[in-house]
Amino acid sequence: MSTVSPISLRPRPYSAQAPPTSASSLPDPALHNAHTLPHPTSNRTATAIIYCEGQFGDIDGKTANGLIRHSEKYTVLSVIDSTQAGLDSGMILDGTANGIPVCRDMDDALSQTTTLPDFLIFGMAPASGLLSDAQREVVLAAMGKGMSIVNGLHEFLNDDPEFAAARIAHKVDIVDVRRPRPKKFLRMFSGSIHQVTCPRIAVLGTDCAIGKRTTATVLTAALNAIGLKAVMVGTGQTGLIQGARYGVALDSVPSQFCAGELEATIVEAFNNEQPDVIIIEGQGALSHPAFSTTSFILRGACPQAVVLQHAPGRTSRCDFDNMAMPNPADEITLIETFADTRVIGMTLNHEHMDDDQVSLAMVRFGQELGIPVTDALNRPARHLLEMVFAAFPALRQELTGAPQ
């Protein structure tokens, strides 16, 4: 396979930046009902309970799963899922305890904290994008207790008369994460993406809910950890809820503006942060007939390189039992035909696989595809770094003591 074309790289010192935790971004404690648990008044990260009934650790619980693994914006106190109550959320996801309990219901969750959480986060991403009647009751009950709501669904709760009335009555907030900016402010593609001179790497996949955001997060953290300044651009609701400084929920933007909105966001990140690398979170799959977002990511970001995420243990597409998973080689051909880019490596989602099966899959796909293959969660981060350095050798040269 041919190498990625050279990119202009400007050496600069790396300065780690902690996420902002301004108290002004939190709900005013005085606005909450007096009969509820007290709120602390110190400057801190917002606290949250995640509602993920019957779905935590599963595909449709991906928002909750992502927040448990990584959140810059919220301190997660617990997860609500009665089917796994009493377990540790970290043990469920990754086999490592993290001290965040899974609770039976709201009362159980509140009994395990001395202060009222600032937010209830709706932690599921159902295919319908809508709340069920039972879920509506849970959200309304949380508002009644004085908790604000973070909603990542396509259904905007601020537009619902019942939720709007509850918001006013209980003096809380509703954050509709997916709501795009007004159309008069939406941006069309301009070509300004080509002014971004650092490498742009998109993490795409062979299916939805397959781990693209997780791999992008791990890769970004690994690059920053060794002294390169990497910025991740989110393209979905979970990344935005986690606290991505730059991003847009592309699947809620009118198609005419998708490429332009992403382009403008990447340009903004480049101009503001002057990063060495920009990592773009993928959505869906280019080959998946139910989703078009990947095409807009390839058009708007114009990435010089792609890391492909694949789940060898998944036999059919998520939510489509009659649709077989694609062969990674076919997905790579499609991506490289559709866009002026190269797939520089593949990462594995290890669902339904043990460690030995992951190792065998890494070897097999590496030989078949002629690219490096790793598991972002269960293999050393240096595998991801070497994947990037092989494609962009100038990045290694910016470092002193970079991995060899």
What CATH number did the domain enclosing 129 receive? 3.40.50.720
Residues 75 and 207 in one domain: no
Distance of CA 277 to the CA centre of its chain: 18
Residues 161 and 189 in one domain: no
pLDDT at position 127: 72
Cα–Cα distance for residue pair 14/274, rounded to 1 Å:
10
Q: Is residue 1 part of a domain?
A: no
Residue 384 near residue 201, CB atoms below 8 Å: no
Element (DSSP H or E) covering residue 88: none
Residue 233 near residue 335, CB atoms below 8 Å: no
| Domains identified in the chain, total number | 2
Residues 163 and 290 in one domain: no
Cα–Cα distance for residue pair 103/101, rounded to 1 Å:
6
Residues 228 and 295 in one domain: yes
pLDDT at position 14: 25
| Helix, strand or coil, per DSSP, at residue 308 | strand
Residues 192 and 239 in one domain: yes
DSSP track, 109-161: HHHT-SS--SEEEE----TT-S--HHHHHHHHHHHHTT-EEEE-SSS-GGGSH
Q: Is residue 80 part of a domain?
A: yes
Residues 384 and 255 in one domain: yes
Residue 305 near residue 342, CB atoms below 8 Å: yes
Cα–Cα distance for residue pair 332/369, rounded to 1 Å:
9
Residues 248 and 393 in one domain: yes
Cα–Cα distance for residue pair 399/404, rounded to 1 Å:
11
* Residue (of 380, 65, 374) closest to 236 by Cα position: 65
Cα–Cα distance for residue pair 368/385, rounded to 1 Å:
21
Cα–Cα distance for residue pair 60/378, rounded to 1 Å:
22
Answer with the one of 157, 176, 195 that is the final residue of a domain: 176
For position 229, which CATH number holds?
A: 3.40.50.300
Q: Is residue 77 part of a domain?
A: yes
Q: Is residue 265 part of a domain?
A: yes
Q: What does pTM read for this prediction?
A: 0.84
Q: Is residue 204 part of a domain?
A: yes
From first to last of its 404 residues, the chain has per-residue pLDDT tens of: 333 333 333 222 222 233 333 333 333 323 333 233 444 444 568 999 999 999 999 988 999 999 999 999 999 999 999 999 999 999 999 999 999 999 999 999 999 999 999 999 999 987 777 899 999 999 999 999 999 999 999 999 999 999 999 999 999 999 999 999 999 999 999 999 999 999 999 999 999 999 999 999 999 999 999 999 999 999 999 999 999 999 999 999 999 999 999 999 999 999 999 999 999 999 999 999 999 999 999 999 999 999 999 999 999 998 899 999 999 999 999 999 999 999 999 999 999 999 999 999 999 999 999 999 999 999 999 999 999 999 999 999 888 654 54
Answer with the one of 112, 143, 176 that is the final residue of a domain: 176
The two tokens of residue 257 are: 């503006």
Residues 145 and 192 in one domain: no
H helices of 171-324, in order, are 212-225, 237-242, 255-273, 293-301
Residues 258 and 324 in one domain: yes
pLDDT at position 18: 32
Q: Is residue 50 part of a domain?
A: yes
The two tokens of residue 360 are: 């065998």
Q: Which long-range contacts (CB under 8 A, 24 or more apart) does 100-105 make?
A: 100/68, 100/76, 102/56, 102/78, 103/49, 103/78, 103/79, 104/80, 105/80
* Residue (of 271, 273, 153, 286) closest to 212 by Cα position: 286
pLDDT at position 130: 82
Sheet (strand 46-51) strand order: 102-103, 74-80, 46-51, 119-122, 148-151, 174-176
For residue 67, the enclosing domain spans 23-176
* Residue (of 52, 82, 83, 75) closest to 65 by Cα position: 52
pLDDT at position 25: 34
Residues 328 and 234 in one domain: yes
Residues 52 and 162 in one domain: yes
Residues 230 and 377 in one domain: yes
Q: Is residue 119 part of a domain?
A: yes
Cα–Cα distance for residue pair 260/34, rounded to 1 Å:
46
Q: Is residue 349 part of a domain?
A: yes
